[in-house]
Amino acid sequence: MKAKLNSFIGSFLCIIFLSGCTAVTTIDEYRPTNESIRLDKTEKVVILGRRDAGHYETDSEFIDCVSKKINTANVRVVAEQTFIDSIYPWFEPRTAPKGLPRLKRLMQEKVVRERVTQQNIRYLVWLDGSTETMGQGGSISCAVGPAGGGCFGFAQWDKISTYDATVWDLVELTEKGRLRVDSEGTSYLIGAVAPIPLLTPVKSDACGSLGNQLKKFFTVD
């Protein structure tokens, strides 16, 4: 009986794994022209996440992930916190630009312009978005008794990652392009004596897709 139960659980997990634990990811791209964004060998890129004081913050781990995807021998990326600290307080949540008009006014500040120039930062990528959990269903119950215990049941939930990236030229003060990535999938938690999680990597897929596509935006002279 136990062997049949184990066989059933194994088959069930296999079906769930093959059918469910993948993310569906789409990317929308807009650029004014088909030309690549040109960097010379001294110029750098910085990726900043949107933060509104007190109630909203783009995931810093996601920003770091995208930065690592873009940062190569050719395209050099300045770490987000390094940049924010160097130019304090102009990119703190209450003062950071959320649109091109505000960025233009900010770059008129002599100290801001000088610090950006000192670090050879040519392009700023403004990243905005989040990963949300929704559509939860099922239940798991766990118990411990004299004869042992375990967890039984089945739960699932949907996750969706949605992020927008805008590329600004800090010299020409123009928008060079936009990207939007949507990644969604269903994760499972199966109670088969011990809880078995089968997690869909929506955030990881969103990071990889967005980072790889952003990297293609740039050409180094």
Domain that holds residue 59: 2-220
- How many domains, the chain? 1
Give the global pTM.
0.78
For 152-210, what is each residue's pLDDT tens digit?
Answer: 666 777 888 899 999 999 999 999 999 999 988 887 777 666 666 667 788 899 999 99
Q: Encode the chain in three state secondary structure.
A: CHHHHHHHHHHHHHHHHHHHCCCEEEEEEECCCCCCEEECCCCEEEEEECEECCCEECCHHHHHHHHHHHCCCCCEEECHHHHHHHCCCCCCCCCCCCCHHHHHHHCCCHHHHHHHHHCCEEEEEEEEEEEEEEEEEEEEEEEEECCEEEEEEEEEEEEEEEEEEEEEECCCCEEEEEEEEEEEEEEEEEEEEEEEEECCCHHHHHHHHHHHHHHHHEEEC
Q: Does residue 10 have a pLDDT over 70?
A: no
For 15-31, what is each residue's pLDDT tens digit?
Answer: 444 445 566 888 888 88
Confidence at residue 45, expressed as pLDDT on a 0 to 100 scale: 95
For 103-132, what is each residue's pLDDT tens digit?
Answer: 999 999 999 999 999 999 999 999 998 888
For 24-67, what is each residue's pLDDT tens digit?
Answer: 888 888 887 777 888 888 999 999 988 775 666 788 899 999 99
Query: What average pLDDT does the segment 67-78 reach?
Result: 87
Of 137 and 59, more confident: 59
